Amino acid sequence: MIEYLKQLFHTLYDVRSLITNGGGVLLVCGIIFVETGLFVGFFLPGDSLLVIAGLVAAHGLLNIWTLVPLAMLCAIVGDQLGYGIGRQAGQALYSRPDSMFFKRRHLERAHQFYETHGGITIIVARFMPIVRTFCPPVAGAARMSYGKYLTYDIIGGVLWVGSMTLGGFAIGKFLPNLSDSHVHYLILAIVFLSLLPGIIGALRNRRGKSATPIT
């Protein structure tokens, strides 16, 4: 059993081979849906999957214009499932025992992040592994307005999938011989650049509040 799990993890994290050896767009979309919609997906390599899918598309092995909208759709639909689970299960989720595919500490981490940052969490969490899996059920359990949740979720899904895949695609065009050993640095750079406008906005907002005189 342990050897099987090791082989499974090795296969999942050898993202380039996974995509090029017959996986294609449907496999990418399926993994994105599972990672965002089901607790069992928290360990899946969403960021690297999307970036490398963009790189592979730059080499003509995937259709980028099919990949991007379908992956966005799956990311958004997956989150709706997670929200629905949280809405139905409510606080019972927090007393659920740990298992191989569910870790309560991950749910509590997402809950704390949600409590700290509010609705914007739905967007920011897209760029945070593990948190993006557990954030939708937390929002559902907290009874966040569905209309508000859906708006944030669409924005987050479009930004996440778009920045990762198109970022990988653009770099694949400019650096066609980029080695796999540099892909992780590429992913970190894309994530940072994607979050930069939000970070700047949050800092400005904090400075504005601190500068407001007390009356």
Q: How many Å apart are CA 60 and CA 163, to the nearest integer? A: 19
Q: What is the pLDDT of residue 215?
A: 40
- Give the chain's mean pLDDT: 76
Tell me the C-alpha to C-alpha distance, in Å, between residue 200 and each of 77, 154, 196, 205, 206. 29, 21, 6, 9, 10
CA distance 212 to 203: 14
> Which amino acid is located at 12 in the chain?
L
Please report the pLDDT score of residue 199 as a whole number.
Answer: 60
> Highest mean pLDDT: which of 21-30, 105-114, 160-169, 171-180?
160-169
Reported for 72-75, long-range contacts at CB under 8 A and 24+ positions apart, including other chains, are 72/157, 72/158, 72/161, 72/162, 73/29, 74/29, 74/30, 74/32, 74/33, 74/36, 75/32, 75/33, 75/36, 75/126, 75/157, 75/160, 75/161
* Domain coordinates in residue numbering, the chain: 2-175
Residues 6+ apart with CB under 8 A from 182: none
pTM of the model: 0.74
Q: Compute the distance between CA of residue 170 and CA of residue 33 in angstroms, rounded to an integer.
A: 24
User: Mean per-residue pLDDT for 204-208?
Assistant: 61
Residue 143, phi-psi category: left (phi > 0), alpha (psi -120 to 50), beta (remainder): left
Neighbours of 152 (CB within 10 A): 22
pLDDT for 132-160, tens place per residue? 888 888 888 888 889 989 999 999 999 99
What pLDDT score does 193 carry? Answer: 64
> Does pLDDT of 20 surpass 70?
no
Confidence of residue 109 (pLDDT cuts 50, 70, 90): confident
